[in-house]
Amino acid sequence: MQKHYLPSHSACGAGSPFPRQQSRQKSSSKDTIHRNYYFLPQIELTRQQDHWQLSVNLPVAKQAMLDLGYDKAQLLASLASLIAPAPTPLPQSYKIESRHHYPEFKQWSHLVTKALTAIDDQYFAKVVLARKTVLTLNRPLSATQFLQQSRQVNQQCFHFIFAIYADDYFVGSTPERLFSRDFDNLHTEALAGTAARSLDDAEDRALANWLLNDEKNRYENRLVIDDLLSRLQSRCRTLQVERRPELIQLRKVQHLKHKIDGQLVAGIDDAELLTSLQPTAAIAGLPRRPALDFIADNEPFDRGWYSGALGYIGQQQSEFCVAIRSARVLGHELQLFAGAGIVPGSDPQSEWQELERKTATLLTLLEPDSHGYRDDRMYPNKNNKHVLANQFTPEQQRA
């Protein structure tokens, strides 16, 4: 196979979905077949701290431009639109007309109990079970404005929007990095173990202290560390794990995180890293194969891009995030995804509450928090903190 090398300043976008098991047929009329997807953008805008760079990627030969469907007039029009003044935002509210969970709580309880039995039988040590929540809205949702609102309130996250087909958007604000590579230096992390947040400072500190010392959550994080190390040992000359866990405090939840740094063996490329690390024990389970089989046989939906990997590949640098805290926007329909790691000591009710807290990352952009308050600590721009969370600019007003 012939290799094509990118210019040093360019990056190839890439997406890798959660592995789909052929033995299960759970597709609906709105599902699509998700495969690994790579693309070189015609227009590429990058920012590193205060430095911005705009690139246009074109084939060298004119005939190649024609063969690949590059339209010069369309490209120039797209470039011109980037410098057009932004329209004045016009608020638009959304109403949730219906809500359905897949699975519902009764089935969820059954799945957690079944998973705990499999753990007792030593079929696997951990499995991550997910839930899809389908909302029907009173009007089509603007995916770009939805993500813009999320960026304002969900700090310490990778924010992404990904669309292969028109009117089918995958968006999210994830706290989890799969890996980043700077030449031969590799950085990854074990993000696992979850607790709630509180607006009461004393209670919030107590929750954080509980998470740092809870045996179940520390065990869950350790499984992810061990899985990552086992996959990287033969691919790295050196590996170093952060001794103490870092506390990642988000708007609705907080997590345990251990940083892992390494130096890659010569010849290890990004494709091999992506294949070996994804899916991690943090979003599938451990061991990987039996956990994936259990998910395929028991989850009532295909995950698609949820808990897959999204990022970019370049000659000098590459980076991928794990696509959790995410949603699929389909016009009037919004699909929200969340998962919970099942290990010894897991309880169906507690894990369901964890799903609710994780879903709230994006859900509270559309409806008020269930407790009827907002956390002003998450709004560093004081001028924006009183903007209603369920107001967006209509798509047609931004054209």
Active site residues: 126, 176
Give the closest residue to 258 by CA, choosing from 281, 275, 289.
281
C-beta separation of 56 from 75 below 8 A: yes
Radius of gyration of the chain (CA): 22
CA distance 68 to 328: 29
C-beta separation of 239 from 262 below 8 A: yes
CA dihedral 33, 396, 173, 296 (to 10 degrees): -20
Tally of CB atoms within 10 A around 393: 19
CA distance 343 to 129: 11
Task: Mention every residue, 6+ apart, whose C-beta is less than 8 A from residue 367.
Answer: 96, 390
Alpha helices in 124-243 (DSSP H): 143-153, 201-213, 215-232
Cα torsion angle, 388, 389, 390, 392, sign = positive
> How is residue 214 written in tokens?
């809870």
Give the closest residue to 293 by CA, choosing from 132, 112, 120, 127.
127
Q: Rounded to the nearest 10 degrees, what angle do helices 348-363 and 143-153 cross at?
A: 110
Q: Rounded to the nearest 10 degrees, what angle do helices 105-120 and 288-298 cross at?
A: 150
CA dihedral 224, 122, 342, 261 (to 10 degrees): 0
